[in-house]
Amino acid sequence: MNATAIILAAGEGTRMKSNHAKVSHKILGKPMIQWVVDATIQAGCERVIVVVGSHADEVRSILDQAYAQSSVQVETVEQAERLGTGHAVRVALGACNVTSGPVVVLNGDLPLIQAETVRMFAQTVADGKLAATVLTMTPPDPFGYGRIELDADGVIARIIEQKDCTPQQAEELLECNAGCYAFDGALLSRHIGDVTCDNAQGEYYLPDMLEILKSAGHAVGIYHCEDYRDGLGVNSRAQLAQLTAIARDRINNQLMAQGVTFIDPAQAWIGPDATIGRDTVVWPQTHLIGATHVGEDCQLGPNTRLTNVVAGDRCSLDETVGIDAVIENDVTCGPRCYLRPGTHLLDRAHVGTHVEIKKSTIGEGSKVPHLSYIGDTTMGAGVNVGAGSITCNYDGKNKHATTIGDRTFIGSDTMMVAPVNIGSDAITGAGGTITKDVPDGALAIERTDQRIIEGYTELRRARL
């Protein structure tokens, strides 16, 4: 489909009461503008142009980071003077030289619009029969939306804004304008300059293009989206929360249809780019953010948050926070463990309660059961780390590495001062500070002599 998407994202978003661009606010961990851009790319649009204005640098940064590797180039055009939607489209057309093919104009605060809706919308103007179409919907409560009035032939006659509706029109006209338009690109390019600012606000309004095209002898129509939620926008924090709940329910329903169990779907927040395998159970207060992918037969939560984590099959992640980590098969984590970026847990590894792992590999079947910190470490298979053990990897200026060989036993409360290498089948005594390399099969003990002072309690009491 040789279609171009123009996404309007230049507005102030004053009702959000925010220091950030409205379209940068997140739904399920993903900025709103990315939801819209992704829908256009998945719909098959070959060009995506985002018109930025307020907080332009912030929006550009989001797009540059998200689509640096995209096969579809996401372009940005700045609307330095924000003179209305018609002006924004004219700026985009001129800067990017769009002169043909279907052009869909969407708002950047429409995060629920689906790719199939965008694809079908663009196709309405692909065969040359219609010069423009308006995306319409019938929400349960139409108050606040422009109403679509059709003529006797079922062709759009005009759009009546809420404030201009008579009581009868407000009651009878239930088809609402979602604020999105599809145009024949050649006709849009030819006539966009005909939009004037002859109105009370002195702005160029894109809906005026409908009457301009009709006056030039071209047909215009509507495309009704079956799911009215596709056309819902975000103008306030309350609406952001409402649309987040809708997005959550859409995603969770899809996952349940694919064989995932949710103990309480209303208490699990799964991002649009996350995946979960069948027979996995999702407990309440679970969050999967970004490119998180979980395998089959897992237990997630309760109280688990994973961001850009890849987990295999049959894992149990209880009260686990994981960021940019890889978890292989049959791994158990938690409760209350923290997997920081660069963590790699191999098959059958166990990370227990109050354990923090950072930029480390935990070998097959190795265990860090409780109250430990492991950082910048490569650990072999079958290792057991006693409670309260720490790799002292930071000297105040640089980070240093620790290696632990296969089947080694680290006694409780062992301090491993990096850089240090502990061999395979070795043992460290409890309470030791290991500063030197430990050979394979060796026992490393570092302790001061224990002193016993008899009668100390009575002596102390006598001094008080």
| Tally of residues, the chain | 464
d(CA 66, CA 38): 10
223 is known to lie in a ligand binding site: no
252 is known to lie in a ligand binding site: no
330 is known to lie in a ligand binding site: no
**Residue among 363, 370, 374 at smallest CA distance from 333:** 370
11 is known to lie in a ligand binding site: yes
d(CA 59, CA 34): 10
254 is known to lie in a ligand binding site: no
**Residue among 61, 45, 224 at smallest CA distance from 133:** 224
Angle (deg, nearest 10), helices 115-123 and 32-42: 50
Per the CB < 8 A criterion, the answer to whether 234 and 108 are in contact is no
384 is known to lie in a ligand binding site: yes
8 is known to lie in a ligand binding site: yes
Structure tokens at 71: 């096969």
d(CA 428, CA 434): 8
373 is known to lie in a ligand binding site: yes
55 included as an active-site residue: no
End-to-end CA distance of the chain: 89
Per-residue DSSP letter, 61: H
d(CA 136, CA 365): 57
Give the position of tokens 């590894």: 349
Residue type, 329: N
226 is known to lie in a ligand binding site: no
235 is known to lie in a ligand binding site: yes
430 is known to lie in a ligand binding site: yes
Give the position of tokens 């060009």: 47
Per the CB < 8 A criterion, the answer to whether 357 and 380 are in contact is no
- The residue from 20, 350, 370, 400 that is catalytic is 370
163 is known to lie in a ligand binding site: no
429 is known to lie in a ligand binding site: no
253 is known to lie in a ligand binding site: no
Structure tokens at 420: 């240090």
129 is known to lie in a ligand binding site: no
347 is known to lie in a ligand binding site: no
CA–CA distance from 323 to each of 339, 345, 357, 371, 399 (Å)? 6, 13, 11, 19, 20
**Residue among 93, 24, 8, 13 at smallest CA distance from 65:** 24
46 is known to lie in a ligand binding site: no
Per the CB < 8 A criterion, the answer to whether 177 and 147 are in contact is yes
Buried b (16+ CB within 10 A) or exposed e, 230-240: bbbbbeeeeeb
Distance from the Cα of residue 446 to its chain's centroid: 48
85 is known to lie in a ligand binding site: yes
Structure tokens at 235: 């103008």
User: What would you report as the CA-atom Rg of the chain, rounded to the nearest whole angstrom?
Assistant: 30
Q: How crowded is residue 219: how many other Cβ atoms within 10 Å of its Cβ? A: 15
Per-residue DSSP letter, 316: E
22 is known to lie in a ligand binding site: yes
Phi-psi bin for 97: left (phi > 0), alpha (psi -120 to 50), beta?
A: left
Binding residue positions for Mg(2+): 109, 235
Binding residue positions: 8-11, 22, 79, 84-85, 109, 146, 161, 177, 235, 340, 358, 373, 384, 387, 393-394, 412, 430, 447
* Residues annotated as part of the active site: 370
Binding residue positions for acetyl-CoA: 387, 393-394, 412, 430, 447
Binding residue positions for UDP-N-acetyl-alpha-D-glucosamine: 8-11, 22, 79, 84-85, 146, 161, 177, 235, 340, 358, 373, 384
